[in-house]
């Protein structure tokens, strides 16, 4: 028999179900909470140049400021960075809480809808749907991956907007309409796939009322549809022009796109119904050669739609659920270019929103069918739902364990999809960043390029690793140049090629040209500004340009102490700017108190200033506490101590330590000679100066001091 829905559940049970949903979500995603940042997470978490308050403005006004122009999402990331910085626990926990919140919102919306049509589903089925969505493994990619906060946050706004609009549709209160529209705009600003909401609302209203009224149903949503269309077109433009979703990898005919859509629909339906063999990246289908065999997929999708339409009076809910599933997938069916299509046409996170319609419809249908079975033991439905949630939770928990770090995730991805060149590329990058697997990183980059020889980022990555190896600079340059043939606007390739060229004799002008090319493409590229400044500072007459680029690099990345140290060293060489150099070094040490180079550089500067010698000695000593093996700092400290009364013994210790760390250092012998001369041990002084000149025959300071010694011996002057 068909069970009608009773009134609202008692509050204690409601809160109990909310706690259960959150508990299930935490149980599923517990292994991911302490996971590291993955793949492009660093491109989503607020980068240093956007962390100041001014960066929040740029997130909204500069379409290139963030990886994708989703200002609501990146404003949320900006706030989160203020709260917990780069700690991944905060981001992961928030993603899980947002996912659980959306599950509870789904239950609220479903109960409201099913209550409006008695017999749609038994009471409590909405919480079964919420729990199934909370535990379903296809959601893991969206919840365990920090970058996909765009999914978890946008879904919360999507469901809130839908609930507010349903309230408006029943009560016609203007305030509810305004609230719903505001929430919809927030959803669009988080992820534009939520542009499907107004169409989804029309489907829901048709399902609830049996028909659509232009005045009551369609007209209020007309502005929403216009905004959704504009958002979709803008996102498509951004994907093509700013992110690179155009060119050879995206050249599909209209027929191929239609056939691809049919294949994609059934792929996602299969993964929701039977979540086996899930992968972070799936293999990329060869549409040109395979699509001819996809006609049955398209035919099946058309046949299902037609059959459900014919029998809509008897199964309107099934048609509505099918339309919600397929309609929510529409942005990811292949009709529009999105950058991930370059390595796969499908991804679990593309169906995070769409799977709601599938899961809700399947749950309602199963619950209603069980309610009609005579003599079915009481509680059988709840027991079946609990068993299914338990199985899905175990699968999700196991899948989450792969999201601990890039190496774990992408080794598993390669095992599942060995032809995924992007997985090989990311694994190579991860191995290279570890600093201990360089040979394997080179191998993985080469595997990626064997599968896809035209991927510029793999050429760049391989170039970086080859440049570190002795005698392989020419190979590195070849890969950078190939990357720039494929992607002439690649600022990273220009910058990295500049770094390699700057280390080669006579090629600094070429390096400068590449740094400048990088900045023409990306004017806010702090590293390129800093590298260009480093190069210009060594060129005659170009120090003013160098200082300007250093200043811009510091402005763009104020939290990077290394840039400030190099800026300070350049300022110290400019007349009258020593105090600015000191200020930069002091700020660098505030940011990184353990930076030995900043301590030593500040010590050198302070030693040249009247009355600052005690401060200078303190910074030399701090540098050596941090890095006791810095020979040049021992030598600099020895030279300063040798000029102070009664400190010659300490000076001698540091000079000898410099020689131990760097044998054959002419400056160290010069320092020891000065100490011996000051003690009156002129023969020892002479021997040390002669050793210095043997090491470096043209060492003018040692020559001058040796001559002074000869004059001293004749009573005409003294050593310095």
How confident is the model over 124-147, as pLDDT tens digits? 899 999 999 999 999 999 999 999
Examine the pLDDT at 27 and tell me if it is beyond 60. Answer: yes
Per-residue model confidence (pLDDT) at position 593: 94
What would the mean pLDDT of 31-52 be, rounded to a whole number?
Answer: 92
Domain locations along the chain? 11-45+86-402
Task: Assess contact for 218 and 202: CB atoms under 8 A.
Answer: yes
pLDDT, tens only, 617-651: 999 999 999 999 999 999 999 999 998 998 989 99
Q: Give the up-direction half-sphere exposure of residue 162: CA atoms within 13 A in the CB hemisphere.
A: 27
Identify how many contiguous H helices and E strands the chain contains and give both numbers. Answer: 35, 0
pLDDT for res 244 = 80
Q: Which long-range contacts (CB under 8 A, 24 or more apart) does 245-249 make?
A: 245/337, 245/338, 245/339, 245/341, 245/342, 246/337, 248/454, 249/341, 249/342
pLDDT for the residue numbered 2? 37
Judged against a pLDDT cut of 70, whether residue 11 lies above it is answered with no
Token pair, residue 430, equals: 């991860």
Is the pLDDT score of 7 beyond 80? no
Angle at CA 448, nearest 5°, toward 445 and 449? Answer: 90
Q: What pLDDT is attached to residue 243?
A: 84
| Mean pLDDT computed over 528-557 | 94
CA 295 to chain centre: 38
Chain CA centroid to CA 453, Å: 25
Residue 720 has pLDDT above 70, yes or no: no
Identify whether the C-beta of residue 79 lies closer than 8 Å to the C-beta of residue 55: no
Query: Encoding tokens for residue 555?
Result: 């402005």
Within 10 angstroms of residue 28's Cβ, the number of other Cβ atoms is: 30
What confidence category does residue 717 fall into, taking pLDDT thresholds of 50, 70 and 90? Answer: very low
Q: Of 529 and 343, which is predicted with more confidence?
A: 529
* Model confidence band, residue 231 (pLDDT cutoffs 50, 70, 90): very high
CB-based contact 71:189 (threshold 8 Å): yes
Residue 182's H or E segment, with its range, is helix 174-188
SS3 364: helix
Residue 245 pLDDT exceeds 90: no
pLDDT of residue 8 exceeding 70: no
Q: How many CB atoms lie within 10 A of CB 450?
A: 11
pLDDT > 50? residue 148: yes
Q: What is the mean pLDDT of residues 219-247?
A: 92
Rounded Cα–Cα distance for residues 196 and 383 (Å):
35
Band (pLDDT 50/70/90 cuts) for residue 520 is very high
334-381: per-residue pLDDT in tens?
999 999 998 899 999 999 999 999 999 999 999 888 888 887 888 888
H-helix segments, 10-87? 11-29, 41-44, 53-61, 71-84
Does 120 have pLDDT greater than 90? no
Cα atoms in the 13 Å half-sphere on the side-chain side of 517: 19
Q: What is the pLDDT of residue 313?
A: 87
* pTM for the full predicted model: 0.80
Tell me: pLDDT of 10 over 50.
no
Residue 709 has a pLDDT of 82
User: In the prediction, which pLDDT does 531 show?
Assistant: 96
Neighbouring C-alpha atoms within 13 Å toward the C-beta of 96: 26
pLDDT in tens, 255-312: 999 999 999 999 999 999 999 999 999 989 999 999 999 999 999 999 999 999 999 9
Distances (CA, A) of 280 to 140, 230, 349: 10, 30, 9
DSSP 650-671: HHHHHHHHHHHHSTT-HHHHHH
Confidence of residue 3 (pLDDT cuts 50, 70, 90): very low
Share of the chain above pLDDT 90, in %: 80
- Cα separation, 296 vs 570, in Å, equals 68
pLDDT value of position 242 = 84
Residue that has been written with the tokens 């001819």 in this structure: 292
CA 148 to the chain's CA centroid: 10
Residue 521 pLDDT greater than 70, yes or no = yes
pLDDT confidence tier of residue 13, bands split at 50, 70 and 90: confident
Percent of the chain with pLDDT over 70: 97
Across residues 55-82, what is the average pLDDT?
Answer: 95
């Amino acid at each position: 028999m068909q069970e009608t829905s009773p009134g609202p559940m008692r509050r204690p049970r409601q809160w109990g179900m909310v706690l259960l949903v959150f508990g299930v979500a935490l149980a599923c995603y517990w292994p991911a909470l302490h996971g590291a940042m993955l793949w492009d997470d660093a491109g989503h978490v607020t980068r240093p140049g956007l962390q100041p308050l001014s960066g929040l403005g740029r997130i909204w006004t500069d379409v290139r400021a963030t990886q994708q122009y989703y200002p609501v999402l990146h404003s949320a990331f900006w706030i989160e960075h203020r709260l917990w910085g780069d700690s991944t626990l905060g981001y992961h926990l928030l993603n899980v809480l947002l996912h659980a919140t959306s599950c509870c919102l789904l239950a609220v919306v479903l109960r409201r809808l099913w209550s409006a049509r008695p017999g749609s589903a038994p009471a409590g089925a909405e919480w079964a749907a919420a729990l199934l969505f909370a535990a379903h493994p296809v959601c893991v990619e969206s919840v365990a991956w920090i970058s996909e906060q765009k999914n978890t946050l946008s879904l919360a706004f999507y469901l809130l907007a839908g609930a507010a609009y349903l309230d408006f549709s029943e009560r016609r209160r203007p305030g509810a309409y305004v609230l719903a529209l505001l929430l919809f705009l927030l959803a669009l600003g988080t992820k534009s796939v939520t542009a499907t909401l107004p169409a989804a609302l029309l489907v829901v209203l048709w399902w609830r009322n049996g028909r659509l009224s232009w005045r009551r149903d369609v007209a209020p949503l007309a502005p929403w549809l216009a905004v959704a269309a504009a958002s979709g077109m803008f996102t498509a433009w951004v994907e093509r022009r700013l992110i690179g979703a155009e060119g050879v990898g995206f050249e599909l005919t209209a027929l191929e796109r239609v056939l691809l859509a049919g294949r994609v629909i059934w792929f996602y339906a299969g993964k929701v119904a039977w979540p086996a063999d899930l992968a972070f990246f799936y293999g990329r289908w060869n549409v040109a050669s395979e699509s001819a065999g996809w006609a049955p997929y398209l035919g099946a999708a058309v046949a299902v739609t037609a059959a459900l339409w014919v029998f809509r009076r008897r199964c309107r809910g099934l048609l509505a659920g099918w339309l919600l599933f397929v309609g929510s997938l529409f942005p990811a069916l292949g009709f529009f270019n999105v950058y991930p299509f370059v390595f796969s046409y499908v991804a679990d996170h593309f169906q995070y929103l769409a799977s709601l319609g599938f899961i809700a419809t399947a749950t309602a249908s199963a619950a209603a069918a069980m309610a009609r079975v005579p003599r079915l033991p009481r509680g059988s439905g709840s027991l079946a739902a609990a068993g299914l949630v338990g199985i899905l939770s175990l699968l999700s928990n196991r899948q989450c364990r792969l999201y601990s770090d890039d190496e774990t995730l992408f080794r598993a991805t390669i095992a599942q999809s060995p032809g995924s060149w992007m997985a090989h590329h990311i694994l190579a990058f991860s191995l290279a960043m570890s600093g201990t697997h360089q040979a394997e990183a080179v191998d993985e980059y080469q595997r990626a390029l064997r599968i896809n020889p035209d991927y510029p980022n793999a050429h760049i990555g391989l170039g970086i690793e080859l440049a570190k190896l002795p005698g392989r600079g020419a190979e590195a340059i070849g890969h950078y140049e190939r990357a720039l043939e494929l992607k002439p606007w690649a600022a990273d390739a220009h910058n990295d090629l500049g770094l390699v060229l700057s280390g080669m004799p006579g090629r600094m002008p070429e390096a400068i040209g590449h740094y400048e090319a990088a900045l023409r493409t990306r004017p806010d590229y702090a590293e390129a500004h800093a590298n260009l400044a480093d190069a210009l500072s060594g060129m005659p007459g170009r120090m003013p340009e160098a200082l300007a680029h250093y200043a811009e690099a510091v402005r763009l990345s104020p939290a990077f102490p290394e840039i400030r140290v190099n800026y300070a060293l350049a300022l110290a060489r400019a007349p009258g700017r020593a105090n600015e150099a000191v200020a930069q070094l002091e700020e660098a040490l505030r940011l990184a108190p353990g930076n030995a180079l900043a301590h030593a550089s500040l010590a050198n500067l302070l030693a040249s200033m009247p009355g600052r010698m005690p401060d200078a000695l303190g910074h030399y000593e701090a540098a050596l506490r941090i890095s006791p093996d810095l020979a040049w700092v021992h030598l600099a400290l020895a030279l300063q101590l040798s000029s102070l009364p009664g400190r010659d013994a300490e000076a001698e210790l540091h000079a000898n330590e410099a020689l131990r760390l760097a044998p054959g250092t002419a400056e160290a012998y010069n320092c020891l000679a000065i100490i011996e001369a000051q003690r009156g041990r002129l023969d020892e002084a002479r021997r040390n100066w002669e050793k210095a000149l043997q090491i470096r025959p043209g060492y003018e300071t040692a020559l001058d001091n040796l001559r002074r010694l000869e004059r001293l011996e004749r009573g005409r002057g003294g050593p310095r």
